[in-house]
């Protein structure tokens, strides 16, 4: 039984994009669709048994009609090819108000053949070309779904988080108790498993959202644990496999160095019925993000040449580029904007940031402040001011005497 596991598609990300003249769509939207197309092509051409999506189809909770249309086209192609599709609801798939439909619920409403949507924890038995498989689901659940107002009335934020974690752990434990060990089984969850490495989510307040311990999900009853929510692909456990597929396409510079793609999972059974799981990451070559950092030295009279050399050292064609130039407060020639922009013309998108660096550290000869005692640092500071003719030697002597008293008093108090 061969399965594709992917997650965090986030259709609707348009940052760093521009209008595509041929389609009228944002080029970044087309990037994400292209990644999904390659996944669908792979599934159809290699006759995959099941496509498992672990949440966050769209960037926004209420996606536009064009985004929904393009996603549905890809799901329909899988469905018409006889490949079952399992769609797990992620946090970005939930509407802003209770009672409204999730962004993927339409597939259930229309009873689309071969498409299963999970918006609440259940165990599904999905028929594939190679037999049935159990999918224990843990979609993203609202706090109000898990806890009543009375449950949290007198609790602190941290206590509410702990209570939510207990409930989620209980849901997984309930699934484990109901799984039929005779059938292959997968846990599909859109959740934060503590200890996982974050990608662009470092800016998210994960400290306030509930997380599951690895030991809570890594049950040997499951042949594979498929995770979504974290954009960085990673394997948290080998036996059983606990895997984040990561996002299909890079979202921002926080994912600059991350590989993007999906997992192909194969659950094998021997003649005695013992199962073994093999999984491989299928890498997709998505849009590259490139950061270029240039520091101009104070006596550089031709800083543009230094910037152009840094750009030439990086392949910027079709990439999203962020150029950061550090300039000294004094000295250095002028930057030629026109030349720099011309050097970046083949980039898909570029931004240029300049930062003026002011040296606030005291020049204390061959010593740094960390290597000097307080009294030595004060003397070095006053000597510097004498050299700069900002104070007289007489005044420096008086300040040194007062400073010595204060330092001595402070040291004696401690």
DSSP string, 169-192: HHHHHHHHHH--TTS-EEEEEESE
pLDDT of residue 203: 47
d(CA 181, CA 179) in angstroms, rounded, equals 6
DSSP class of residue 101 equals P
Residue 244: its H or E element: strand 241-244
Question: By the 8 A CB rule, do 125 and 132 touch?
Answer: yes
Question: In this structure, is the dihedral angle defined by the CA atoms of residues 92, 94, 98 and 99, taken in order, positive or negative?
Answer: positive
From first to last of the 414 residues of the chain, give the pLDDT tens digit: 999 999 999 999 999 999 999 999 999 999 999 999 999 999 999 999 999 999 999 998 889 999 999 999 999 999 999 999 999 999 988 877 667 778 888 888 888 899 999 999 999 999 999 999 999 999 998 777 777 767 777 778 788 888 889 999 999 999 999 999 999 999 999 999 988 887 665 544 455 688 899 999 999 999 999 999 999 999 999 999 999 999 999 999 989 999 999 999 999 988 787 899 999 999 999 999 999 999 988 888 888 999 999 999 999 999 999 999 998 877 656 888 999 999 999 999 999 998 887 655 545 555 555 557 788 888 888 888 887 778 888 888 888 888 888 877 776 655
pLDDT reported for residue 393: 86
Tell me how far the alpha carbon of residue 106 is from its chain's centroid.
27
- pLDDT value of residue 40: 98
Is the peptide bond prior to 240 cis by the omega test (within 30 degrees of 0)? yes
- Total number of residues shown for the chain: 414
Could you tell me which of 5, 43, 7, 51 has the C-alpha nearest to residue 246?
Answer: 7
Which residue has 């292209």 as its token pair?
34
236: phi then psi, degrees, rounded to nearest 5: -90, -25
> Residue ranges of the alpha helices (H) in 223-348?
303-312, 337-343
Backbone angles phi and psi of 93, in degrees to 5: -90, -10
Break the chain into its structural domains and give their ranges: 2-284, 289-357, 369-413
The model's pTM:
0.81
Residue 16 zone, left/alpha/beta (φ > 0; ψ -120 to 50; rest): left
**C-alpha dihedral, 208 to 92 to 227 to 186, nearest 10°:** 120
Q: Which candidate, 109, 135, 107, 133, places its Cα nearest to that of 121?
A: 135
- CATH number (3.40.190.10, 3.30.70.1380, 3.60.21.10, 3.40.50.720) of 2-284 reads 3.60.21.10
């Amino acid at each position: 039984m061969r399965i594709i596991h992917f997650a965090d598609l986030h259709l609707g990300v348009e940052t760093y994009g521009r209008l595509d003249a041929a389609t009228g769509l944002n080029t970044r939207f087309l990037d994400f669709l292209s990644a999904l197309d390659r996944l669908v092509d792979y599934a159809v051409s290699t006759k995959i048994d099941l496509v498992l999506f672990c949440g966050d189809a769209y960037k926004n909770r209420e996606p536009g009609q064009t985004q929904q249309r393009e996603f549905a086209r890809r799901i329909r192609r899988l469905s018409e090819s006889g490949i079952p599709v399992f769609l797990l609801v992620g946090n970005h798939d939930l509407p802003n108000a209770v009672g409204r439909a999730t962004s993927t619920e339409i597939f259930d409403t229309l009873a689309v053949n071969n498409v299963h949507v999970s918006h609440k924890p259940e165990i599904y038995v999905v028929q594939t070309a190679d037999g049935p498989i159990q999918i224990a689901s843990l979609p993203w659940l609202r706090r109000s779904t898990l806890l009543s107002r009375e449950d949290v009335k007198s609790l602190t934020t941290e206590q509410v988080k702990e209570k939510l974690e207990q409930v989620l752990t209980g849901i997984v434990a309930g699934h484990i108790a109901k799984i039929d060990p005779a059938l292959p089984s997968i846990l599909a969850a859109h959740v934060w498993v503590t200890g996982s490495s974050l990608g662009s989510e470092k800016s998210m307040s994960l400290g306030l959202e509930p997380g599951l311990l690895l030991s809570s999900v890594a049950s040997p009853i499951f042949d594979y644990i498929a995770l979504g929510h974290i954009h960085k692909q990673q394997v948290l456990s080998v036996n059983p496999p606990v895997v984040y597929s990561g996002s299909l396409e890079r979202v921002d510079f926080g994912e600059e160095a991350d590989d993007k793609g999906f997992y192909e999972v194969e659950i094998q059974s021997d003649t005695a019925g013992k199962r073994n799981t093999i999984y491989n990451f299928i890498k997709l070559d998505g849009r590259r993000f490139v950061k270029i950092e240039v520091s101009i030295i104070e006596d550089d009279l031709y800083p543009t040449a230094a910037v152009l050399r840094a750009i030439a050292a990086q392949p910027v064609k079709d990439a999203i580029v962020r150029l950061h130039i550090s300039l000294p407060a004094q000295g250095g020639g002028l930057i030629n904007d026109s030349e720099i922009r011309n050097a970046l013309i083949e980039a898909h998108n570029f931004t240029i940031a300049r930062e003026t660096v002011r040296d606030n550290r005291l020049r204390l000869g061959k010593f740094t402040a960390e290597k000097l005692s307080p009294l030595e640092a004060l003397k070095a500071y006053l000597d510097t001011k004498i050299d700069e003719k900002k104070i007289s030697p007489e005044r420096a002597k008086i300040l040194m005497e007062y400073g010595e008293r204060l330092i001595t008093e402070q040291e004696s108090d401690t």
